[in-house]
Amino acid sequence: MTFVQLIECRTSRLDEMNRLMDDWVQQTKGRRTATHAVMGTDRSDASHVVEVVEFPSYEDAMRNSNLPETDRIFRGLVALCDEMPTFIDLDVVRDESLSEGMVRSFFEALCTEGELPPLNDLLDEDIHSHDPMNPQDTIGLDNVRAEFRMWRGAFDFAFTVEDVLTQGDRACARWTWYATHQGDFLGIASTGRQVTMTGMALFRFGDNGKIAELWWQHDQLGLMQQLGALDALEQ
């Protein structure tokens, strides 16, 4: 179970505290068990500092606490604070990445039968889609929908989303695509072949929370080979 430690203190020496945290990161490199740390100041009271440190588990946090460098950093932290810092230990019972949910909903929507109405709730009206298969970027929700419709007309397909990584307003998904070729695709008539393709997609989210930009990378050459489009070239 993920474990989070919440540290609160008051200090007028924030710059020194930042340098202290930098020293801890450097000194414990390769041995610390913390996976994520965020430090912030109270907008209504700049001397009120809160740090959130995440660990894979409580046991990992205890191993981190037992490092000799952690003890030295703690004593330095106390010296920089106006009063003794407080520690709150939290077992995480819910951890939800909203952008990851949007990414997974996007891939599900692409496979949903109908006229792709779910995309209205996921994609910005001015979305930009960058695909190496296209000489120019596809801009605008209607044009992007038409591009997806072309794929849906050519293939009966499903996605397996292998991984989703998120950071700030970006997310990256690694996926595998399974399809049956059932219609014209780039001049190739239906072959009925079962094909697969792997790829990645990078997402940028706009201020409204919708997907504002897409970058696609996929094994186009492998797909064309499976469809038999390269057979004449190989002879």
* pLDDT band, very low/low/confident/very high, at 64 (cuts 50, 70, 90): confident
Nearest 5°: the CA angle 3, 5, 6 is 140
* pLDDT band, very low/low/confident/very high, at 66 (cuts 50, 70, 90): confident
* Each residue's pLDDT tens digit, 143-194: 999 999 999 999 999 999 999 999 889 999 999 999 999 999 988 999 999 9
The third-level CATH classification (topology) of the domain covering 3-91 is Alpha-Beta Plaits (3.30.70)
Statement: residue 232 has pLDDT above 60: no
| CATH 3.30.70.100 domain residues, the chain | 3-91
Question: Which pTM does this prediction carry?
Answer: 0.73
| CATH 3.10.450.50 domain residues, the chain | 98-234
Q: Is the dihedral of CA 108, 199, 174, 204 positive or negative?
A: negative
Closest CA to 124 of 215, 213, 216: 213
Statement: residue 234 has pLDDT above 80: no
How far apart are alpha carbons 81 and 79 in whole angstroms?
Answer: 6
CATH number for the domain whose boundaries are 98-234: 3.10.450.50
